[in-house]
Chains A and B, each alone.
Chain A
Amino acid sequence: MIVSLFVGPYALAEVDYFDYLHKKSANLNLENKTNGWAYMISGALVLGGSIPGYYLSKEIFSKVIYTAGQNFGIAGIGYGAYLAFIDNDYKRFENILQKTPELTREQKNKLAYYFFKDRAEQAKRIRMIRVVSHGLSAGLNILNGLTSDSKELGLALFFLGGVNVLASIGLLFSQSAEEKMLTSSFSATPKFAALNITYHF
């Protein structure tokens, strides 16, 4: 019996990042197509109902609602078309990797991992920007509430300020979906090594 051991600079599939990318993009694609068609159909129905509704209604608030319905209907059709016919980021990156057959499986795995890592880092930066934005809004709301002459307006501003404080704190101590995906599904440091044991009898 001969046992050979080989250790080389290849990506170890503790998690098959490329396979995970494929499944993620497929699920998201299906979800987007379903939601996209739902938005297009519902947008068309809202638009179709709002046009006659505007001309038949006499009361001003009803006319405003039907005007909103016409605009929202068109926006809904557009948003639905975007979801249904425009590929998401995961699908586009997977397509790029699929169209480069010269890349090995391990290389695709490595690229997929760095794609997820980059998305997680970007999501974290966006989250921190939102923490600061909500914090600043909270400060302004509370300051305006303290200096308001109207009691009702002051209470409303304090409420808004409190909501912004909660949002800021919540975002600071939570993780976005992309960050959670990276930390819970994958190891923090992928092991780029291979162990190959061959038995010869």
Chain B
Amino acid sequence: MKIFIIFLTNLFFLCNVYAEDISFTFDYMPSRFETRELTAGSRALGELCTSWAVMPDGTVCNSAFLNQNTKSFFLGRFYIGNGYSALSTANAVLLKPITKDTLKKVFENNSVITMESQIDLVFVTPYFSIEFAPYRIQYFSEIHNPNFPIIALHASLEKRVKLSGNLKLSRFTPALSQFTLGLELRLLDRKYIHNSFSFFKAIASPDAGLLPVNNQRAVFLDPSIGWASRKWPWKTRASIAARNIGKVWYSNSLYPEYTDIDIGVGVEPPVEIGQLGVGIEFVNLIYAQDFISRMRFGGSYKLGMMEIMSGVNANSLVTGLEFGVNIFQAGIVYEFIRNDLRGLGPENKISTEFSFKL
């Protein structure tokens, strides 16, 4: 009799654990996953784009300033944030069939993991640029209750093509000789998984549709107007850009691609040796929650083969270094404070980037 009661008690307990708490599935994304340009230069500058002319790797983020780049080149780039072990886990979850070994690895990792990585190919000229990113992966997992683990997991794989063009408005009237019009067309194809499940259910039936894949496609147009002064000191420039004008098929609150407006101002104070640049931006003017979340500030100093960058925005304080000789470049970014994960406090993250330029 005693043994029977103990058995029933354990069975009751196990059933309660097996019925996972669905409300645990997180409904937010780490703020870093909203980054438009996943590059070391953009991250290290505090995600500046609208105010910056030429990024540290030579590409141009704001299409209105494409003409400030004087060279044509091809760039291949590989960016990874937060490490090899998280990357291999994310690849296994997204790209391979789910197995018991994969799920065991997921649960053996730290309680909270975020990871992102991107490979892209870019061709830049002073008049247009084309970017193809066949691989942009984001991974976020949270494990609760280590004794009877339940995991909430988000992973996405995104492919993107971006076409940018630039037109000097001096073609229409000399009065607008300092203005340029930029236009960016972005095509997105995104697959993502967003779910939570318990360890026991996963081990018992790994093929039970634990990780349904969602598909999303989007087409966006981002026009911008840039002004680069010839008379003002410090090479002052300013820009206003509209973002995310377009359509998303099967939109989801996880990816709120609101149409919004960004403005930015950048200067290059003269220095004895090297080049110094500073920029300030106000982004998401319509939908941002407060003034601080709209603000981004960053700067860089370039000398010879290296460029030191630093930036701050509502979520992070960042510093980074890019260096390169001839066709090879590398970059490393340190994020000292990142308020990505609600309630879990600040963290330190390291991202790295390798690129070659032809």
- Could you tell me which A residues sit within 8 Å of B by CB distance? 34-35, 37-43, 45-46, 49, 57, 59-62, 64-66, 68-69, 72-73, 75-76, 79-80, 152, 155-156, 159-160, 162-163, 166-167, 170
Complex: A156 Cα to B135 Cα, angstroms: 10
Question: Are A155 and B80 in touch, CB under 8 angstroms?
Answer: no
Given contacts A34-B273, A156-B121, contact A39 B305 (CB under 8 A): yes
Residue of B nearest to A53 (CB): B332
Q: How far is the CB of A155 from chain B (nearest CB, A)?
A: 6
Q: How far is the CB of A47 from chain B (nearest CB, A)?
A: 10
Question: Are B132 and A76 in touch, CB under 8 angstroms?
Answer: no
* The residue from A61, A80, A155 contacting B304, defined by CB atoms under 8 A apart: A80
Given contacts A43-B304, A43-B305, A61-B83, contact A79 B325 (CB under 8 A): yes
In the complex, which residues of chain A have a beta carbon less than 8 angstroms from the beta carbon of B121? 156, 159-160, 163
Question: Are A72 and B328 in touch, CB under 8 angstroms?
Answer: yes
Task: State the main secondary structure of chain B at its contact with A.
Answer: strand
Complex: A80 Cα to B80 Cα, angstroms: 30
Residue of B nearest to A74 (CB): B325
Question: Are A35 and B80 in touch, CB under 8 angstroms?
Answer: no
* The residue from A38, A62, A162, A170 contacting B72, defined by CB atoms under 8 A apart: A170
* The residue from A38, A69, A152, A163 contacting B135, defined by CB atoms under 8 A apart: A152
Given contacts A38-B274, A79-B325, contact A72 B352 (CB under 8 A): no
In the complex, which residues of chain B have a beta carbon less than 8 angstroms from the beta carbon of A72? 305, 323-325, 328, 330
In the complex, which residues of chain A have a beta carbon less than 8 angstroms from the beta carbon of B83? 59-61
* The residue from A37, A45, A62, A162 contacting B306, defined by CB atoms under 8 A apart: A45
Residue of B nearest to A174 (CB): B72
Size range of the chain B interface in the assembly:
20 to 34
Question: Are B323 and A76 in touch, CB under 8 angstroms?
Answer: yes
| B283-310 near A? 1/0 per residue, CB < 8 Å | 0000000000000000000011110000
B350 within 8 A of A: yes
The count of A-to-B residue pairs whose CB atoms sit within 8 angstroms is: 97
Complex: A39 Cα to B306 Cα, angstroms: 8
Question: Are A41 and B330 in touch, CB under 8 angstroms?
Answer: no
Complex: A159 Cα to B350 Cα, angstroms: 30
Residue from A35, A49, A163 with most neighbouring chain B CB atoms (10 Å): A163
- Could you tell me which B residues sit within 8 Å of A by CB distance? 72, 74, 80, 83-84, 121, 123, 125, 130, 132, 134-135, 159, 273-274, 303-306, 321, 323-326, 328, 330-332, 350, 352, 354
* The residue from A42, A59, A64 contacting B303, defined by CB atoms under 8 A apart: A42
Task: State the main secondary structure of chain A at its contact with B.
Answer: helix
Complex: A49 Cα to B334 Cα, angstroms: 14
Question: Are A62 and B332 in touch, CB under 8 angstroms?
Answer: yes
Complex: A160 Cα to B330 Cα, angstroms: 21
Q: How far is the CB of A140 from chain B (nearest CB, A)?
A: 15
Q: How far is the CB of B90 from chain A (nearest CB, A)?
A: 14
Question: Are B304 and A159 in touch, CB under 8 angstroms?
Answer: no
Complex: A38 Cα to B125 Cα, angstroms: 26
Closest 4 CB pairs of A and B: A42-B304, A38-B304, A39-B304, A76-B305
Question: Are B331 and A156 in touch, CB under 8 angstroms?
Answer: no
In the complex, which residues of chain B have a beta carbon less than 8 angstroms from the beta carbon of A66? 332
Complex: A160 Cα to B132 Cα, angstroms: 10
Complex: A68 Cα to B354 Cα, angstroms: 9
Given contacts A72-B323, A72-B328, A159-B132, contact A59 B304 (CB under 8 A): no
Complex: A38 Cα to B304 Cα, angstroms: 4
Q: How far is the CB of B116 from chain A (nearest CB, A)?
A: 13
